[in-house]
């Protein structure tokens, strides 16, 4: 078991510097353009693929880093470059985590490579969980999966929303209800292979921030997929459903993780790292501006009102990173989140990103309110962190329930 440390080793530092160079030289110069276009930045994803950043091998190396710091370190550097472009590059990872968390070895080996494509033909993947009437309330999910035993096929019907890469993905991972009476315990995850009839893109959303990342509805109309596309397999699903039904009859309160929650628990510290990257970027812009902007004959950082804000910003960013690193290390080394440490990291880092980016705008004054400077874009991008993959309110609910042992509502 790797001991917790705040010192990156030489290999980690090399990867960090490599990613930082890509973020500074490729992502940042293009950030404003793709934010305005509100389109997937395919040329930049292609460049990331050529360099080996957008690849299964790269993310596998970071995911299996024994210290647990590979993924948060990578997320922070990429999102320091630009959140919208970075999400286009790493968005496939959520679908990949969904397969890793729930799939068999054969499914992992079959589908994850197809999510990324290759250097000459890059692909993306989508994880589809939220619905128009079932966001935080996953028990209200209406998308249904019905097993056709005669054909060994699953038939999916429903509408998913807020899906990163939804509709443009090569592979879609869809969470659907197989037993409505069990609520969230009756959910399962399915692979929808490329070009499957019945799957289509619905509304593409025009968003406040992360506008270079494609977000859309996914419509499923009598989508038939092979039985082998049920993640984990039918035998495992039937056993899990049988246990849940027995517990329901007995009035037991055993917690059974559903497919979506298994994915989100694994990814929350990574989202926290994204927020840290965005906050750090805004802080650095504000610090540089405060050192060079003069008012009343001296740099504005000479004023305590500005200097103290920057001190608080840096302190909060470092504290957020520490929470993220702790949660990532715990997850990798198999230590249970007995105090909901994963949710703590995501909650705190997300709130810090919103606050720090707002303070950066304030320090830049009128300039911060214009698109000539990047902090207004960073502030718009930061708003998503307290919303997706579990709102701040849901994180607080998870933490409170974990600490109290009560089903707080």
Residues taking part in catalysis: 389
Q: b or e along 191-226 (b: 16 or more beta carbons within 10 Å of the residue's beta carbon)?
A: bbeeebeebebbeebebebbbbbbbbbbbbeebebe
Contact 383, 208 (CB under 8 A): yes
Q: Three-state DSSP class for 168?
A: coil
Q: CB of 109 within 8 A of CB of 60?
A: no
DSSP for 341-401 reads: HHHHHHHHHHHHHHHHHHHHHHHHGGGGGSTTSTHHHHHHHHGGGGTTTS-HHHHHHHHHH
Phi-psi map region of 405: left, alpha, beta (phi>0 left; psi -120 to 50 alpha): left
Burial class (CB in 10 A: 0-12, 13-18, 19+), 247: middle
Angle at 91 between CA 158 and CA 23, to 5 degrees: 160
CB-based contact 304:407 (threshold 8 Å): no
Q: Are strands 125-128 and 171-177 parallel, antiparallel or unpaired?
A: parallel
CB 96, CB 189: distance < 8 Å: no
How far is Cα 364 from Cα 334, in angstroms, rounded to an integer?
44
Residues with Cβ within 8 Å of 277's Cβ and at least 6 positions away in sequence, in order, are 75, 76, 77, 78, 79, 80, 81, 83, 86
Q: Do 74 and 22 contact (CB within 8 A), yes or no?
A: no
- Residue 304: how many CA atoms within 13 Å on its side-chain side? 0
- Is residue 109 a contact partner of residue 102, using CB atoms and an 8 Å limit? no
Total residues found in the chain within this entry = 409
Give the N- to C-terminal CA distance of the chain in Å, as an integer. 37
């Amino acid at each position: 078991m790797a001991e917790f440390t705040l010192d990156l080793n030489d290999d980690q530092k090399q990867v960090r510097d490599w990613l930082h160079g890509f973020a500074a030289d490729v992502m940042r110069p293009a950030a404003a353009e793709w934010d305005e276009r509100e389109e997937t930045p395919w040329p930049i994803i292609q460049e990331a693929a050529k360099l080996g950043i957008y690849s299964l091998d790269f993310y596998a190396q970071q995911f299996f880093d024994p210290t647990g710091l590979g993924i948060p370190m990578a997320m922070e550097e990429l999102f320091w470059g630009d959140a919208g472009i970075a999400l286009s590059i790493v968005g496939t990872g959520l679908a990949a985590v969904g397969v890793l968390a729930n799939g068999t070895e054969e499914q992992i080996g079959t589908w994850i490579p197809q999510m990324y494509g290759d250097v000459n033909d890059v692909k993306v993947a989508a994880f589809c969980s939220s619905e128009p009437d079932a966001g935080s309330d996953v028990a209200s999910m209406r998308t249904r999966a019905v097993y056709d035993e005669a054909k060994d096929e699953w038939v999916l019907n429903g509408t998913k929303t807020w899906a990163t890469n939804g509709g443009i993905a090569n592979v879609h991972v869809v969470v659907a209800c197989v037993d409505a009476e069990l609520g969230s315990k009756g959910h399962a995850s399915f692979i929808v292979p490329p070009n499957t009839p019945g799957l289509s893109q619905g509304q593409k959303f025009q968003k406040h921030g992360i506008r270079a990342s494609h977000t859309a509805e996914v419509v499923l109309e009598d989508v038939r997929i092979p039985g082998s596309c049920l993640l984990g397999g039918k035998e495992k699903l039937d056993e899990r459903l049988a246990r849940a039904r027995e517990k329901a009859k007995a009035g037991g309160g055993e917690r059974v993780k559903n497919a979506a929650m298994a994915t989100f628990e694994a990814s929350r510290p990574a989202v926290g790292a994204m927020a840290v990257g965005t906050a750090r970027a805004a802080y650095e812009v504000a610090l540089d501006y405060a050192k060079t902007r003069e008012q009343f004959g001296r740099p504005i950082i000479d004023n305590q009102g500005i200097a103290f804000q920057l001190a608080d910003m840096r302190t909060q960013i470092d504290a957020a990173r520490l929470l993220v690193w702790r949660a990532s290390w715990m997850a990798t080394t198999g230590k249970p989140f007995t105090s909901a440490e994963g949710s703590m990291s995501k909650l705190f880092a997300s709130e810090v990103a919103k606050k720090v980016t707002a303070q950066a705008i304030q320090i830049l004054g009128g300039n911060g309110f214009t698109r000539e400077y990047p902090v207004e874009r960073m502030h718009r991008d930061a708003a998503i962190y307290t919303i997706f993959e579990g709102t701040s309110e849901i994180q607080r609910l998870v933490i409170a329930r974990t600490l109290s042992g009560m089903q707080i509502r």
